Amino acid sequence: MTDQPLIDLLKKLTLEEKIGQLLQLAAPFFEGTGTDGQITGPMASMGITEDIVKHTGSVLGLSGAKETIAAQQAHMKKNRLGIPLLVMADIIHGYKTIFPVPLAIGCSWDMEAAERSAEIAAAEASAAGVHVTFSPMVDLVRDPRWGRVMETTGEDAYLNGEFARAFVRGYQGKDLKHDLTRLAACVKHFAAYGAGEGGRDYNTVDMSERQMREYYLPAYQAALDEGAELVMTAFNTVDGIPAAGNKRLMRDLLRQEWGFQGVVISDWGAVKEMIPHGVAADEAEAACKAMLAGVDIEMMTTCYENHLKELVESGEIEEALIDEAVLRILQLKQKLGLFDRPFRGADPDRERDIVMSAEHRQAAREIATKSCVLLKNDSVLPLNREQKVAVIGPFAQNGDILGPWSWLGSKDETVQLIDGLKSKTDASRILTAEGSGIETVTEEQLEEALRTARHADVIVLALGEHSDMSGEAGSRADIRLPQAQLKLTARLKAAGKPMVAVLFNGRPLDLHGIYDVADAVLEAWYPGTEGGAAVADLLYGDRNPSGRLTMSFPFAVGQVPVYYNHFNTGRPQGVPDAQVRYVSQYLDIPNEPLYPFGYGLGYTTFGYSNPAISSGVMTVDQPLTVTVHVTNTGSVAGEEVVQLYVRDLSGEVVRPVKELKDFRKIKLQPGETQEVSFQLTEEQLRYHHADLAFASDAGKFSVFVGANSRDVQELEFRLDK
């Protein structure tokens, strides 16, 4: 189908109807959604009338096959030309079957796992009538104070790009129009939302364009390359201009330079937020700026609805701009097949059959086992089935392990840690005590916990953050676990039993008081619906932990931002003849993070030997091959993520001390050796120069292979051009 029918349709729309297509409202405004579209209270105070709702182009936060069908039917009857609604929702790490949070999925270094999680999320949500997901969020992050780090895959631009692609493939499949089990993906938050000053949500972002292009933009671009249909603007400023009104960002970069033809949607309220930002005196000015900048859909505020018409009439906005935006929205509706099948995948029977199916739960369990990261293990894990285990702490019997953005996830249908453990051994061997709340503790709780621990052979201490402590608006300045839990940990040490800390949380934490007290630490993140089962699989050694961090764990919050691909400075630590004081360092803590990017343990060990490079010279036509032998030197099979990093030693611009260029996840039997080989090309050495040209520099390079960004072996080569 060409666009002609859509153009004809566009011509039939009045200006008011066109502007209606640009408005997105939340589900309660619509008939058939349980509220039956009764516009009362705060909704009415937004100035939304039934007349406006019937012109509205899209809805957010609506789901359920019956509800979406009813809402669509009612809407199409009321809408003069019967234009179907687009149904959008935050399906971030699962619909009802909840997968680990994206940061945890990142730690799997497993693109198939990421794709599969998105595919299942799409299958469930589309059966429940959703058309578009506000995912993936691919914002690069370096500050664990920011609560939304849980929603991204970490601190590396290359890895984030790979995950962005995998999520988009999983959501969208190959043919959105005919494959009704898929969703259109909306990549967010454009741009650089992850770089808010001080880790405070919604805060100012200011960085050089070079820095932004180098680190922050590649993952959005990767998602678009993979075909993501929508882009959501960020809340923050970019170079002093709020993203939702940032013409350079959206018209010049996104549309013109990258050629993006899909729909741009503002984040919730972000158009109107140009007023408190201080770049618009009123809603009309905000509407004008957002439209000129290229925002097609305004989410949840009514600057467009109330002011675009007058802006067109006064000549400040050309109607052609509105036409373009509407056409893009109609094109998306067409791509999703909504003009032929307005209910699309919504199907109560299919919804009943597949949502939370055994197959989906099994996939969630599998992916959760890949996502946990073993940070420390002084010969305590795996547990053996004969041991008496005291499982203690606020997450021992707690279904709140789904994490933020698990909208329809059900805590009651989530496998708790205690149930996972009991399924592995005779239930009489699993003792339990609450120990503490998440933020509160009493002397009685501590005493009871200690008594319980004394009866056991080993303590499993289930600690973490309440799910409201991360996610949107979940910034924290002190990223240790709450004092109550640190107190519990310290007290239990008196039991003199081996102690395993299992952490359920949404960000890299300052682990003082945990890693130095416990004998083993497993970072389980928020592992999702099957979390307790997956963690038990790992604790008992039925699965060997293989997750590797994609975000550094700081030694202390004062180091933040701390990330592996930093610059060396002119006065690095550790140079032999440097004066001890006058180097770039803290006087009171190390420069290095507690656990670096790429790090994670398992129940076996790996040896790296014979690192080699095919030549000391690379040219544009002559790539190099870097090889290393990896041996499983332990006694059980295990997976290793073999990582390849590069450093440019004579760049025009200073280059990071290491940059991840490639990795392989391999599985080795005990005693088995594999030669892992990477091709390294000139293209992989390119970066943004001072004039923003994307090119490589001739000269000297280091290449590193190893198990993480710290533990590597180094080789050298030269690029001749």
Does residue 90 bind ligand NOJ (CB under 6 A)? yes
Contacts of ligand NOJ in 116-145 (CB under 6 A) = 134
Distance CA 97, CA 196 (A): 31
How would DSSP label each residue in 206-255? Answer: ---HHHIIIIISHHHHHHHHTT--EEEE-SSEETTEEGGG-HIIIIIIII
Kind plus residue range of the DSSP H or E element containing 66: helix 65-78
Q: Which of 268, 504, 606, 717 binds ligand NOJ (CB under 6 A)?
A: 268
Distance CA 229, CA 231 (A): 7
Cβ distance to ligand NOJ smaller for residue 94 or 337? 94
Does residue 188 bind ligand NOJ (CB under 6 A)? yes
Query: Position 483: which residue type?
Result: Q
The interface mask with ligand NOJ, positions 52-71, x = CB under 6 A, is --------x-----------
Min dist CB 657 to ligand NOJ, Å, is 32
Cβ distance to ligand NOJ smaller for residue 154 or 545? 154
Per the structure block, which two tokens stand in for 697? Answer: 């520099």
Strands 673-680, 699-706: pairing is: unpaired
Residue with the CB atom nearest ligand NOJ in the bound state = 134
How would DSSP label each residue in 1-18? Answer: --SHHHHHHHHHS-HHHH
3-class SS of residue 132: strand
Min dist CB 268 to ligand NOJ, Å, is 4
Min dist CB 188 to ligand NOJ, Å, is 5
Edge to edge, the sheet with strand 712-719 lists 617-618, 712-719, 699-706, 638-648, 659-668
Does residue 229 bind ligand NOJ (CB under 6 A)? no
Min dist CB 26 to ligand NOJ, Å, is 9
**Which residues, in sequence order, are CB contacts of 428 under 8 Å at separation 6+?**
none
Does residue 93 bind ligand NOJ (CB under 6 A)? no
Min dist CB 122 to ligand NOJ, Å, is 16
Query: Position 285: which residue type?
Result: E
Cβ distance to ligand NOJ smaller for residue 90 or 351? 90
Residues with a known catalytic role: 267
Min dist CB 57 to ligand NOJ, Å, is 16
Min dist CB 325 to ligand NOJ, Å, is 19
Closest CA to 631 of 665, 601, 669, 673: 673
Cα 449-452-453 angle, rounded to 5 deg = 85
**Which residues, in sequence order, are CB contacts of 720 under 8 Å at separation 6+?**
617, 618, 619, 698
| Number of residues counted as binding ligand NOJ (CB under 6 A) | 7
Query: Position 291: which residue type?
Result: M
Q: Which of 124, 139, 267, 305 binds ligand NOJ (CB under 6 A)?
A: 267
Q: Examine residue 545 and say whether the peptide bond preceding it is cis (omega within 30 degrees of 0).
A: no
Cβ distance to ligand NOJ smaller for residue 62 or 479? 62
Min dist CB 266 to ligand NOJ, Å, is 10
Cα 280-332-50 angle, rounded to 5 deg = 60
Residues 80-103 as b or e (16 or more Cβ within 10 Å = b): eeebbbbbbbbbbbbbbbbbbbbb
The interface mask with ligand NOJ, positions 400-419, x = CB under 6 A, is --------------------
Distance CA 487, CA 508 (A): 20
Cβ distance to ligand NOJ smaller for residue 60 or 62? 60
Cβ distance to ligand NOJ smaller for residue 92 or 123? 92
Cβ distance to ligand NOJ smaller for residue 60 or 249? 60
Q: Which of 472, 523, 659, 697 binds ligand NOJ (CB under 6 A)?
A: 472
Distance CA 233, CA 384 (A): 50
Cβ distance to ligand NOJ smaller for residue 186 or 418? 186
- The 8-class DSSP code of residue 137 comes to B
List interacting residues with ligand NOJ (CB under 6 A).
60, 90, 134, 188, 267-268, 472
